[in-house]
Amino acid sequence: MKTYVVDGSRVHTRADFFTELGRAVNGPGGYFGSNLDALVDCLRGGFGTPEDEPFRFVLQDAPRIRSAVGTRDWEAVEEIFEEAGVSLTSRTSTKDADPA
C-alpha cells in the first residue's frame, strides 16, 4: 500500500496543512487540495494518488496539525478521509518509527 507521510513540524496554519499534503503526494510545490472541498476531490484519486489501489496517509506530529487546522475543520478532515476510505494514521512526533 502506498503511504504518504505529512510532516507536521512544517504545519503552522490551515493553509500549511494543505501545502504539506501536496508535498507528501506530489513533492515540493505539489497540489493536493487547498480547502476541504478540494480535498474530497483529491482523495478520489488522480491528483498524484493511485486510482486503482489503496493508499494511506501518516501524519507525523499530529497534535500540531490538529491545532493548526482547528477543531471543527479537523473533525471535517477526519470525516472526509473516512468517507473516502483512506486511512489516516496519527503519530505524536516526527521521530516515530518509519510508517512503512
Average pLDDT over the chain reads: 92
Q: What percent of the chain has pLDDT over 90?
A: 82
Domain residue ranges of the chain, discontinuous segments joined by +? 2-90
pLDDT tens sequence across 59-70: 999 999 999 999
The pairing of strands 2-7 and 87-90 is: unpaired
Strand stretches in 2-64, DSSP E: 2-7, 55-60
In the prediction, which pLDDT does 94 show? 61
pLDDT score, position 46: 81
Superfamily of domain 2-90 in CATH is: Barstar-like (3.30.370.10)
At 68 the three-state DSSP class reads: helix
Q: Identify the pLDDT of residue 95.
A: 61
Q: Is 60 exceeded by the pLDDT of residue 99?
A: no
First-to-final CA distance of the chain:
9
CA distance 67 to 77: 13
